[in-house]
Structures are given as C-alpha cells and as structure tokens.
Amino acid sequence: MSRALITDARPWGGPARDVRIVDGTIAEILPVGTPPQTGETVIDGRGRILLPSFADVHVHLDSTRIGLPFRPHTGTPGVWGMMLNDRANWRDAGVPIAERTTETLARMIAHGTTSVRSYAQVDVDAGLERLDGVLAAKDAHRDRATVEVIAFPQAGLLREEGSVELLEEAMRQGADVVGGIDPCMLDRDPVRHLDLVFGLAERYDAPIDIHLHEPDQLAKFSAELIVERTRALGMTGRVTISHGYGLGQLPREQLVPLLEQFAELDIAWATIAPSTPLPTLLLAEHGIRLGLGEDGQRDYWTPYGNADMLDRTWQMAFTNNFRRDEDIEHCVAVATVGGRSVLGTAPALNGRLDRPGVAEGDRADLQLVTGETVTSAVMDRLPDRTVLFGGAVVADGLELTGAA
C-alpha cells in the first residue's frame, strides 16, 4: 500500500492543508502540521496551490517538433493544404517520430499534464508509423500519464484508396478512439464518412472524436448528422466533437437547440482555446463536457505551443475575456477535470464546477503550482511546480523525476 502526505498545500488556493494519499487516491484532507505516518512519503507543498493535474484532450503528438530546431512555417491555409505541407515535411525532422512524441509528452508531464488524448495520423503516406510513434510515447510514460490514442484520418477516408483499411488496422493495433474529420468539407460525402467512422466505432467498441473545422451552417449540418447517428446507434456519452469553431459562432437561437441535443446524448466537446473562443459559459450551463487541448505544437501546422497547459489555460481565459476569479477558475476546471470528464475518468460535469478534483476519494493526479490565488497562478505561469500521478511525484520544477 503506497502512502504519501502532501504538506502545506492550498487546495484550489484555499487555506493550507495536509493531504493524505493512499494507493493513488486522496484519502484525507487534514490540518496543516499533521505528523506523517511511518512509511509515508512526504511531499512539501511549500504553501503552493494544489490543483488537479491537467488533461490535454486534443493534442497532435505525432507531428511535434518541440525541442527540435525551429522551422519557419510553410503551410498554406486550409486543412488539405496544411495536411500536404505536413506530409511533405514530417519525416525530415532528423529525429525518429517515437523520440519526438516521447520527448514532447515528457515536457507535457513536466508542466503538469497527466491525462492525454493524442491524435495519431493514419493515412496512405504514414501508414501506421505515426501511430507506432504515439504508442511508443504512451508506453515510455505509462507510469507518469494516462494516454488515449485516436486513430485519425487527417487526409479523410474517401480521397485516397486504402484509407479506411488503414484506419481499421490502427484500431486493431491499439488505437483507443476512432477519429473523423470535416465530413462535408474534406471527404465531401458526409454520410459515407460518418457511416465509416461510426461503423468502426461499433465494431471496436470505441469512442469517437471528430475534428470539425467547418464554418457556420455547414458545421451545424455536420453536427446534426453526428447527433442523429449518436442517437440511432446508442453511442450516448461516447462521442466528442473537437474544435467546432463554426458551431461556436452560430446565433444563440441555433446553437442552444444543438447544445440541448449534445446534453441529451452526452456529446463532449474539446477546444484548443482559439482566438475566437467557444461560448464557454453557455456550454457549462448546458452541462456539456468540455476539455482543453494544445493541438499541434510547434509543428508543420503552427509555430505555437509549448507543452504547457497552464499557458493554454491563460489563453482560454484571455480569449474569453474572462477577468473574474470564478471565470478564470472555470478555465482551470475545464483544463483539468473537464478534460478527464471527456476521457470518462471523471464524472460528467454539470454547470460551473466548485473546485473539483481535490476532494477525498479523488484520484491523486495532482499538481502544485505557484501563486497567491488560482487566478494569479494562471496569469503568472511560474515554473515552480510539482506533478503527481497516482499519488507519486513524476515531475518537479518542470523536469521529470526518477528514471526514464
């Protein structure tokens, strides 16, 4: 039975407490100064804020160039042009993909992320090579983070011969989630695209995650098709829409009925905090499971991204023009337990969260961050952090602890 005692830590910025962890779970919230028990590892909170660790539920580990020489962006706008740019260049990094994914995941963990849902592009160019890369990172860090892998048809399913077979092979080889993308705009046959995605999900009893970059009424149409299939196939609670930029821009009178159907079918949403934000609080009012992710990081799609979900949380608060503590703390909740709810490892949330994830009975996936308040911690994004996974310290001061 593993035991630890975090001393002098402030759950969600509240008064200092000691926190007892038994077998990877928060067992007791205690007064400061509680004597450690025999055999208990002591983790010095030093008055820092205790938060649930981050969940990044939308990251493309398989394209990362974090830590490699900086490469000027060469893509052209639009999904197909960006995909071709990535395809033309991703092998030229000089470092095998498994090393890149493993290094980037290490940095993510070091910055506080212990739950991850990553894409692995599966297409006629990469075959399963990128999937193998992400699976290697997952395995390398299996004692530091929970990683789900999405078999992701970035190039569509209908444009290139052999795409469907590869996606199915990816599911056989260990992918956890079936991906889909822009059923109208990319494959131009939404019914066939979605039938293939939902069919695979049924066959492999897997959840679904669909990238939706489509604009306004086209996004609404695709979302309606997704809703119809989720209902018809009994996939309640197993479908996530990623991005959904266009949905977020719909007039409220069109968006709300859609959100009501998402709530009914427990369709989750993953955002990357783009500069044009989703109506974040409206989603919370409708009880939509919402998680945050970092998308591509310094890769062939974008020069942005730094493996730091605290930075991304700042970005979410900023793009929403949030200023009040309750709103900025909501962003932290989305970036932590919100993401876990998308992954199904925390309960579905309903409305605003009241400082969740650090109560007795919660899994001890935690982080200590520096700040006077949760809001100031988000504003300052300081490096003095400690990260716990299942009650064990896995990173300290932005470095992994222990052997690789």
Residues that bind a second copy (CB under 8 A): 69-70, 72-73, 75, 275-277, 298, 302-304, 306, 315, 318-321, 323-325, 328, 371-373, 375-376, 379-380
Our CB check for a second copy shows the closer of 164 and 317 to be 317
Our CB check for a second copy shows the closer of 79 and 206 to be 79
8 Å CB contact between 188 and 178: no
Our CB check for a second copy shows the closer of 302 and 345 to be 302
DSSP secondary structure letters along 118-142: EEEE-BTTTBTHHHHHHHHHHHHTT
Q: What H or E segment, with its residue span, contains residue 146? A: strand 146-152
Task: For residue 355, give both structure tokens.
Answer: 């400082």
The Cα 57–Cα 269 span in angstroms is 10
Half-sphere exposure of 33 (CA within 13 A, CB side): 1
Q: Three-state SS for 283? A: helix
Greatest alpha-carbon span in the chain: 65
Q: Least distance in Å: CB of 353 to a second copy?
A: 18
Q: What H or E segment, with its residue span, contains residue 330? A: helix 325-333
The Cα 343–Cα 76 span in angstroms is 32
Q: Least distance in Å: CB of 291 to a second copy?
A: 20
Q: Least distance in Å: CB of 116 to a second copy?
A: 22
8 Å CB contact between 100 and 133: yes
Our CB check for a second copy shows the closer of 302 and 350 to be 302
Q: Least distance in Å: CB of 297 to a second copy?
A: 10
Our CB check for a second copy shows the closer of 18 and 214 to be 214
Our CB check for a second copy shows the closer of 39 and 77 to be 77
**Torsion sign over Cα 120, 200, 336, 243:** positive
Q: Least distance in Å: CB of 67 to a second copy?
A: 12
Our CB check for a second copy shows the closer of 73 and 91 to be 73
Q: Least distance in Å: CB of 48 to a second copy?
A: 14
Our CB check for a second copy shows the closer of 204 and 304 to be 304
Q: Least distance in Å: CB of 308 to a second copy?
A: 11
The amino acid sitting at 355 is R
- Listed in sequence order, the residues at least 6 apart from 318 whose beta carbon sits closer than 8 Å to its beta carbon are none
Taking CA 43 as the corner, what is the angle to CA 343 and CA 23, rounded to the nearest 5 degrees?
Answer: 50
Q: Least distance in Å: CB of 108 to a second copy?
A: 16
The amino acid sitting at 260 is E
Q: Least distance in Å: CB of 103 to a second copy?
A: 16
Q: Three-state SS for 69? A: coil
Our CB check for a second copy shows the closer of 88 and 191 to be 88
Q: How far apart are the first and last CA of the chain?
A: 23
The Cα 211–Cα 188 span in angstroms is 15
